[in-house]
Structures are given as C-alpha cells and as structure tokens.
Amino acid sequence: MAGEAHHTQRGTLSQEPLSPRLSECRGLRLGEQKGGYAVWPANSRRTKQPLPLNCLELNVDFSDPSQGVLSSDGVWRVKSIPNGKGSSPLPTATTPKPLIPTEASIRVWSDFLRVHLHPRSICMIQKYNHDGEAGRLEAFGQGESVLKEPKYQEELEDRLHFYVEECDYLQGFQILCDLHDGFSGVGAKAAELLQDEYSGRGIITWGLLPGPYHRGATLPFHCSAILATALDTVTVPYRLCSSPVSMVHLADMLSFCGKKVVTAGAIIPFPLAPGQSLPDSLMQFGGATPWTPLSACGEPSGTRCFAQSVVLRGIDRACHTSQLTPGTPPPSALHACTTGEEILAQYLQQQQPGVMSSSHLLLTPCRVAPPYPHLFSSCSPPGMVLDGSPKGAAVESIPVFGALCSSSSLHQTLEALARDLTKLDLRRWASFMDAGVEHDDVAELLQELQSLAQCYQGGDSLVD
C-alpha cells in the first residue's frame, strides 16, 4: 500500500474520559513495614456508586474489620496477605495525612497520590522488603515466582474480577512496572496471566527505569511527575470517549510485523509564545524531531519511524490557525491550513512522509496544580509560554505535545541490551540463581531479544 495515512481526532478531556482503574506499580509503603505493589485493571468506566473516602486516601472502609483495625492511638492497621511464616504483621499508617505533602516528606508514589483507592486495589507482598540492603525483590525470577504462588495468584485474580465485573466495556489493561528489579518479573507474569484470561483485550506495558533528572527536577518524584504528564497525554487516544481509537487498535498500529516495543517522547510544556499560532510554533522546530525522548534510546534524529501516535493538548482554539490579513501569502503550507487538525496532520506528513500517523488535537491542557511539583515558572496560568514570567508565578496547567513511535532506534538499543546481557555471568548473582533461573532459559530469552531487535532494522512502514 503506497502513500501516507493519517487519523486526526479532536475533542476535550471533559467529554467523559474513560477512567483507568490502576495498572501495576512499585511497592506501597505503609509505616515501616514490608513493601508490596498495587494492582488494578485499566481503562474501564465505573457505573456503581462512589466509594467512601478516608484520611489515608486509600478508600479503606473503617467499619469493615476484615480490612484492618483503627487503634486508640489513631493508627489504621491494614490487613494484608500473610507470608506463610506465622502471624502476619499489620502495616501501619498514621492519620491524618496532609492534603498536600511537602517535598521533604515524599518517599514513595503513594505519598502524593490524590486518587482514593479501594482496599481491593492493593495487594501486599510480605516476602520482600521495600528498601534496605537485604531481602529486596531484586531479580526477574523472584518477581515471576511471586505470582506463581497460588495465594498471590488467587488474590490478584480476585481483585481483577472485582473491577472487571463493574465495567461497561473492558478495553484492556495497562501495566506499570520497574524494569531494573524483581517487579519486572511481577509485571511479565501479570501480563501472561491477563493474556491467558482476557484474550483479545489490549495489554500495554510501561516499563520504568531510574533516569537522569529533567529541567528543574531535583528529586525522583519530580521525574515521576514528568513521566506521568507524558503518560497522561499519550494514552488519550483510547481514553477519550469521542475517539474511535481503542487500546487494541493503537497497540496493533504500533506493533505490526513482530514489533512489540515503542519509544516515547514529549515537549513539556509545548512552546507557544504570546501572539504565535500553532503553525508559527511548529515551524520553529524546522526538520528536527520536535519532542524530547523519554525512552533510553538516545536522540531520534537520523532514525526511521514506522508508525506513530501523536497527541497535542492545551492549545487554545484561537491559536490553532494563522490569522493572516487578507491578501498576505502564507509563509508555509501549514499557515494555509484551515483547521488545527489539518495543520497537525500536515506537519506529521512533512516530518515523516509515508508513515502511519494517528494524531489527536485536544483543547484541555494538562493540569499541574499541587501536589504536582513546582517545575514551571515560565508559563502563564493558562499554559502559554512567556519570556519574562515573574519568578514563582503559579502555573495550573500547561500544553503538552506527546508521541509514541515505533522507530528504527530500537534496533541498536535492543541489540546493545542483548550484547550486555550475554556478557553477564548469572552464577555471580545469588538472587537470580535462588529464583531458579536456568542457563537454557536465559539463552532462549537472549535469542528472542535478538530476533526482536531485527524487526526494527530497516523494514517497511504500514503504508509502504
């Protein structure tokens, strides 16, 4: 098939976006007890009555003794899955909790979580420590073996069914997990279980790694905020009720011909100065790839894009098109377009001719009000970039340009990963051997990784 293909969708996030019911996340610390992880189905619309709230922001029902006990000293003790070694200690958390935590008090993601979680959203693993020098969930095999244990597998399935039964329409699941420790194994095993039980539903996994800090970011949770902003933007295509793109359709578009991995990039915030239009801003990028890569694949310049999904949000409708005086020749083809959707599609076609592109233009900006860290001081409150904004000016929302791309840059990245893994002697890593990792299994995985890398070498796009 020759030529290029574009799909452009317009809308606002106020149009009843589908509400993800959680993915797979890093350990939740309560008090000083063991760590664990939280699991919840993604992308379903709730139809039942709202859940009760509480000062822990966990939606624990204080009247239900099966969920825990509120002691006389104001400490809520949450019951968790026993570890099979005597009575299980009950993790604790003091109350009340500040509505907006200070930066110094933030240690884990739940410290600044403002979403109220039902107790069935939480599945605690008591076998491993959240932090410290010993007893941590370090190896892939350790995490994989956790969900092979009947008690944890049954608990996960019970929690999934609890939410799946409330869905009007289940698109699929999102899994967020760390890649550098044993939670990679937990995520992989969870994806395998979901594939077996919910065949045909979409499964999108977001692998997370510790990375360098971005502009103004000095703490790990600052980087988490940047990644969350990008994630909230690039997942819009299947969360917007008015969008015809489902999770399965998006995954199929980006993962054809054996491809399973995509890169992510974003411009946070999107640079639109006062008096500029969208064509003016896009033209400033020239022929370079506009977004900053968020994946560990290096700069995207000089690489080939096979398919991409792009979302631009938060640009006022009045700035979508160029307001030229009558008789003024347009400075570019973008300035001649009559709608924002046409401008975005035309820009993508110029950047990557012949590539399958799905583009969404949304009016709703990304909110960055507290507890979002104060990273942006060069934007006006509506999100427009300014050249001399007063220091410390409050920013409540920003425009964001985000993209997912199936790119040839992944060929070199995956091959380099396979080479590095080949050099490792797993016999020197006790946690890997204790988890039952076999040399033949590792060799098979390395072969699969090398085969996956070859899928990104040259090749054709969907429309070639």
Residue 160's closest CA among 198, 209, 112?
A: 198
DSSP state at residue 324:
P
User: Distance between CA 205 and CA 186 in Å, rounded?
Assistant: 12
pLDDT in tens, 318-368: 999 998 888 889 999 999 999 999 999 999 999 888 889 999 999 999 998
The amino acid sitting at 387 is: D
Q: Which residues contact 33 (CB under 8 A, 6 or more apart)?
A: 89, 90, 91, 92
Tell me how crowded residue 148 is: count the other CB atoms within 10 A of its CB: 12
Q: Are 400 and 266 a contacting pair, CB within 8 Å?
A: yes
What does the pLDDT look like over 401-460, one tens digit per residue?
Answer: 999 999 898 998 999 999 998 888 877 777 777 777 777 888 898 999 999 999 998 655
pLDDT tens, residue by residue, 137-181? 888 888 988 999 999 999 999 999 998 998 888 999 999 988 888
Cα distances (Å, whole numbers) of residue 438 to 141, 186, 430, 433, 442: 10, 18, 13, 8, 7
Closest by CA position to 37, among listed 129, 135, 101: 129
**Model confidence at 1, in pLDDT bands (50, 70, 90)?**
very low
pLDDT digits (tens, 9 = 90+) for 86-118: 334 444 444 444 556 677 777 777 777 767 778
- CA dihedral (432, 35, 112, 163) in degrees, to 10, reads 90
**What distance in Å separates the CA atoms of residue 23 and residue 177, rounded to the nearest whole number?**
8
The owner of tokens 């969920």 is 67
Tell me the mean pLDDT in the region 113-140.
78
Mind listing the pLDDT tens digit for each residue in 248-272?
Answer: 999 999 988 889 999 999 999 999 8
